[in-house]
């Protein structure tokens, strides 16, 4: 067969006329080859009705404060003024643009590099909306590009101009020109992994035609049709990998069959110092059903902050212990591992169950001793961090593996903890937990090989949390209210984004703790924790806080999960607009864990739409599932739930939840594919593309 891949693999740096800056700019957005260039899809198409003069732009705006229409203006840079704001988000670059009819002020916020890219006498083209400010017409954050000789805006046949994701080194116009240059030659080389019959059944165009439709549509609808095919392929490949992994687990691997009956159930329940909720009992039943079979359990346990997942996990671990086997619980941070260890030891006090803690800060001698106990079966339950994944940790007989906050490890780190016997087909039952509820749309994607259990509601005795957004100028009122609570014998947290001061203007743990102690909490006991502290020092501080010997704990997000202090009723989050929505919800969950109502004050003056949406959402609801859906809506799936950590590339064309129906179709078809051909032996190109894209991140090497 003739090799048709050479041109697609060709480096963009070999394209004639491309500059080193452009090559560097393309590399920054993941474009190194012609194939990468073809896969770089337009954000949208714009119809340019030709440029207008500055005078004409003034007429277009008229008496309106803002024009909804986008206009294109060409002119010469007359003046550049970088302006530092009273806070970082207010800093801007102010440029005066002139043409033969007048001048126009342009402001670029949060883009300081623009001051270095522009220079007086430079001819540029700006594209954006007009607004009126103090009697003058201006533009804010327009797209811009240098006018290079005879260069004009690239248009496709329909007269539409593609707008591509770009950066300061390579503009959308340059990318558009490069794609136009290689497209006709590259398209015929794109092979389709679906047959004509399959494409007819899907009612979708050939893959090469889909890319033509997206880059050079004859009309807007053509672009949508092409994008739909590319989006389907993205979703289908991921579903195919997930279903292949699932099929392998169910048909090839096996796990110990554990005992579960009324006697075992009553023995375990006798260890629990409170009554389980109906939801917790239901989930325990689902886990018990799994672990009594030899097909390895692969279950996701999700529940909102404080819903009582740890006690459910303990049931699963004790099922292993009853069967004379071992269990392990892996957490993403030492603080969370220590918290779990303390909770488990407390619940099992007086029992014959032996529990160990393995973290990276354990001394070499103690680590060696503990690993020997794991290997010879002296330890029934081992709690730890990533340290459990090192090659020298080998279990005698592990039957249950639990991973907490699994999205922080990434999919490929949902590693199977190993027994010392050579049988690599025997694996433990796996339970992964998260307090970040996963929207249904996402649970079908990278979590598609997991059965899902959900704990709904909160355990008895938990109190509601009131959340308020407070402007920075009113911060003294917040801390005065905080002081009143401390005076009543309650405790609280202050969360800041940094450990040490920088020139960002954001508060840091060390300096803010000192400032609070001197100003608002004079005479009170203020302490701090952060991720850089030694574990012994951090645990000493946390113990003092848990025992009520610290009134106010100033911290970074190290307290985001696992910290359970019933007397902590107040949380202040400084620079709240700098935190993600799920993170804010997790942090807020540290208060209201007892009978006293919790209060969370978010200190922020948000300036971006995303930040405003996030903060409004967290104020409006304490329902983690609604928050998760909102987070997905705001950020999309690319950065959520460990996509970056797992190595799974964000979708280029598919958008969730918009493409949920397309995802469901991809899932159904992937199931059919794997049922008929589990290793894709009859679909060589599809198999090759699957392994190339998701082989490592989904751990398909041992499957395919």
Residue 646 has pLDDT above 60, yes or no: no
**Would you call the peptide bond into 657 cis, given omega within 30 degrees of 0 as the criterion?**
yes
Residue 64 or residue 34, greater confidence: 34
Query: pLDDT at residue 649 above 70?
Result: no
Burial of 704 (0-12, 13-18, 19+ CB in 10 A): middle
The DSSP 8-state label assigned to residue 457 in this structure reads S
Residue % of the chain over a pLDDT of 90: 48
Buried b (16+ CB within 10 A) or exposed e, 597-636: ebbbbbbbbbeeeebebbbebbeeebebbebbbbbbebbb
Looking at the DSSP assignment, which residues form a beta bridge with residue 107?
94, 140
Query: Which string of b and e fits 127-163 if b means at least 16 CB within 10 Å?
Result: bbebbbeeeebbbbebbbbeeeeeeebbbbeeebbbb
- Is residue 401 within 8 A of residue 431, CB to CB? The reply is yes
Q: E strands along 333-434, which residues?
A: 355-358, 381-384, 398-404, 429-434
pLDDT of residue 150: 44
H helix or E strand, kind and range, residue 239: helix 220-251
Render the burial of 73-88: b for 16+ CB within 10 Å, e for the rest.
Answer: bebbbeebeeeeeeee
Residue, of 650 and 537, whose pLDDT is higher: 537
Residue 479: pLDDT band by 50, 70, 90 thresholds?
Answer: very high
Pick the residue with more confidence: 168 or 32?
A: 32
Helix (H, G, I), strand (E, B) or coil at 381: strand
Residue 67: band (very low, low, confident or very high) from pLDDT cuts 50, 70, 90: confident
| Widest Cα–Cα separation across the chain | 91
pLDDT value at 183 more than 60: yes
**Across all residues in the chain, what is the average pLDDT?**
86
Q: How confident is the model at residue 1 (pLDDT cuts 50, 70, 90)?
A: very low
Q: Give the tens place of pLDDT for each residue, 568-613.
A: 999 999 999 989 888 899 899 889 888 888 999 999 988 787 888 8
Nearest 5°: phi and psi at 503? -85, 15
Q: Token pair of 475, please? A: 């911060």
Residue 641, pLDDT score: 40
Local confidence band at 85 (pLDDT 50, 70, 90 cut-offs): low
The predicted-structure confidence for 285-303, as pLDDT tens digits, reads as follows 999 999 999 999 999 898 8
pLDDT > 50? residue 555 = yes
**pLDDT recorded at residue 637:** 58
Beta carbons within 8 Å of 648's beta carbon, 6+ residues apart: 238, 411, 446, 694, 697, 698
Contact of 530 with 557, CB cutoff 8 Å? no
Mean pLDDT of all residues in 477-484: 96
The answer to whether residue 699 scores a pLDDT higher than 80 is: no
The pLDDT of residue 630 is above 70: yes
Domains of the chain: 49-152 (2.40.50.140), 262-293+308-434 (3.40.50.300), 465-621 (3.40.50.300)
Q: Give 153-200 as a DSSP string.
A: ----TTS-EEE----SSS-HHHHHHHHHHHHHHHGGG---SS-HHHHH
Kindly list the distances between the CA atom of residue 653 and the CA atoms of 31, 210, 461, 531, in Å, as whole numbers in the listed order. Answer: 16, 12, 46, 37
Among 50-64, 174-188, 194-208, 258-272, which is the least confidently predicted range? 50-64
Share of the chain above pLDDT 70, in %: 89
CA 491/CA 567 separation, integer angstroms: 6
Listed in order, strand segments (DSSP E) in 47-141 are: 66-83, 92-99, 102-109, 123-133, 136-140
Name which of 579, 610, 238, 633 is nearest 439 in CA terms: 633
Angle separating helix axes 309-322 and 334-347, nearest 10 degrees = 60
Mean pLDDT of 471-489: 95
- Taking only the tens place, the pLDDT of each residue in 442-473 is 776 767 778 889 888 766 667 778 999 999 99
Calpha distance 365→370 (Å, rounded): 9
For residue 446, the model assigns a pLDDT of 65
Q: Which residues pair with 33 in a beta bridge?
A: 11
Query: Up-side HSE of residue 35: CA atoms within 13 Å toward CB?
Result: 10
Give residue 476's pLDDT band: very low, low, confident or very high (50, 70, 90): very high
Kindly report the CA angle at 230 between 448 and 175, in degrees rounded to 5?
125
- Contacts with 78 (C-beta within 8 Å, 6 or more apart), sequence order: 96, 97, 98, 103, 120
**Residue 336 and residue 342: Cα distance in Å, rounded?**
10
Sign of the C-alpha dihedral computed for residues 694, 697, 701 and 702 taken in this order: negative
Using 50, 70 and 90 to split pLDDT, how confident is the model at 523? very high
- What confidence tier does 675 reach under pLDDT thresholds 50, 70, 90? very high
Q: Per mean pLDDT, which range of 363-377, 403-417, 546-560 is the poorest?
A: 403-417
Model pLDDT for residues 241-255, shown as the tens digit of each residue = 989 989 988 999 999
Indicate if the pLDDT at residue 368 is higher than 60: yes
> CA 462, CA 477: separation in Å to the nearest integer?
27
Q: What is the pLDDT of residue 643?
A: 42
The answer on pLDDT for 159 being more than 70 is: no
Between helices 609-620 and 624-635, what is the axis angle to 10°? 170
What are 356's strand-pairing partners?
A: 382
pLDDT, position 415: 52
What pLDDT is stored for residue 2 in this prediction? 41
pLDDT value of position 652: 82
pLDDT greater than 50 at residue 419: yes
CB 466 within 8 A of CB 600: yes
């Amino acid at each position: 067969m003739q090799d048709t891949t050479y041109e697609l693999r060709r480096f963009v740096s070999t394209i004639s006329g491309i500059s080193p800056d452009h090559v560097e700019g393309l590399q920054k957005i993941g474009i190194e080859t012609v194939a990468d260039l073809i896969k770089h899809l337009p954000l949208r198409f714009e119809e340019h009705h030709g440029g207008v003069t500055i005078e004409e732009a003034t007429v277009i705006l008229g008496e309106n404060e803002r024009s909804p229409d986008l206009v294109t203006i060409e002119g010469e840079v007359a003046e550049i003024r970088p302006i530092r704001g009273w806070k970082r988000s207010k800093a801007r670059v102010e440029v005066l643009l002139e043409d033969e009819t007048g001048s126009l002020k342009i402001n670029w916020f949060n883009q300081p590099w623009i001051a270095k890219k522009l220079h007086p006498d430079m001819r540029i083209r700006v594209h954006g909306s007009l607004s009126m400010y103090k009697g003058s017409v201006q533009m804010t954050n327009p797209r811009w590009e240098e006018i290079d000789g005879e260069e004009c805006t690239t248009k496709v046949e329909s007269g539409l101009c593609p707008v591509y994701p770009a950066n300061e080194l390579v503009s959308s116009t340059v990318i558009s020109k490069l794609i136009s240059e290689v497209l006709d030659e590259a398209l015929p080389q794109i092979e389709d992994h679906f047959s004509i019959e399959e494409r007819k059944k899907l009612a979708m165009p050939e893959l090469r035609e889909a890319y033509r439709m997206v880059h050079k549509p004859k009309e807007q609808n053509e672009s949508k049709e092409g994008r739909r095919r590319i989006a389907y392929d993205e979703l289908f490949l991921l579903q195919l990998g997930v279903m292949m992994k699932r099929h392998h687990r169910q048909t090839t691997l096996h796990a110990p069959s554990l005992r579960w009956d009324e006697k075992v159930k009553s023995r375990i329940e006798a260890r629990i110092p409170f009554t389980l909720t109906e939801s917790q009992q239901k989930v325990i039943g689902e886990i018990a059903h799994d672990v009594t079979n030899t097909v390895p359990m692969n279950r996701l346990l999700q529940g909102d902050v404080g819903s009582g997942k740890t006690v459910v996990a303990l049931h699963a671990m004790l099922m292993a212990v009853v069967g004379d086997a071992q269990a392990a619980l892996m957490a993403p941070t030492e603080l969370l591992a220590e918290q779990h260890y303390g909770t488990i030891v407390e619940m099992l006090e007086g029992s014959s169950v032996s529990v160990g803690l393995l973290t990276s800060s354990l001394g070499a001698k103690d680590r060696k001793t503990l690993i020997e106990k794991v290997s010879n079966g002296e330890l029934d339950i081992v709690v730890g961090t990533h340290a459990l994944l090192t090659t020298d940790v080998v279990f005698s007989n592990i039957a249950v593996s639990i991973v907490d906050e699994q999205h922080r490890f990434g999919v490929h780190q949902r590693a199977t903890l190993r027994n010392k016997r050579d049988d690599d087909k025997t694996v433990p039952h796996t339970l992964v937990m998260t307090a970040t509820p996963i929207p249904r749309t996402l649970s079908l994607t990278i979590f598609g090989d997991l059965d899902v259990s959900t704990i709904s509601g909160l355990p008895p005795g938990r109190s509601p949390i009131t959340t308020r957004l407070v402007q920075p100028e009113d911060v003294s009122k917040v801390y005065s209210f905080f002081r009143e609570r401390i005076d009543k014998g309650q405790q609280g947290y202050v969360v800041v984004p940094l450990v040490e001061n920088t020139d960002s203007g954001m508060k840091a743990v060390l300096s803010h703790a000192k400032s609070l102690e001197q100003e608002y909490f004079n005479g009170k006991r203020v302490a701090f924790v952060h991720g850089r502290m030694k574990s012994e020092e951090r645990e000493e501080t946390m113990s003092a806080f848990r025992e009520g010997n610290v009134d106010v704990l100033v911290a970074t997000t190290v307290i985001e999960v696992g910290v359970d202090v019933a007397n902590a009723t107040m949380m202040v989050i400084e620079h709240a607009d700098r935190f993600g929505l799920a993170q804010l919800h997790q942090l807020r969950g540290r208060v209201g864990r007892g009978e006293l109502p919790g209060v969370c004050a978010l200190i922020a003056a948000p300036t971006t739409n995303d930040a405003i949406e996030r903060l409004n959402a967290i104020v409006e609801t304490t329902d983690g599932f609604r928050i998760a859906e909102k987070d997905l809506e705001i950020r999309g799936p690319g950065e959520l739930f460990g996509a970056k950590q797992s190595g799974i590339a964000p979708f280029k064309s598919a958008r969730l939840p918009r493409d949920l129906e397309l995802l469901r179709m991809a899932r159904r078809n992937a199931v059919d594919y794997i049922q008929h051909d589990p290793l894709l032996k009859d679909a060589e190109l599809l198999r090759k593309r699957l392994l190339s894209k998701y082989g490592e991140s989904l751990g398909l090497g041992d499957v395919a």
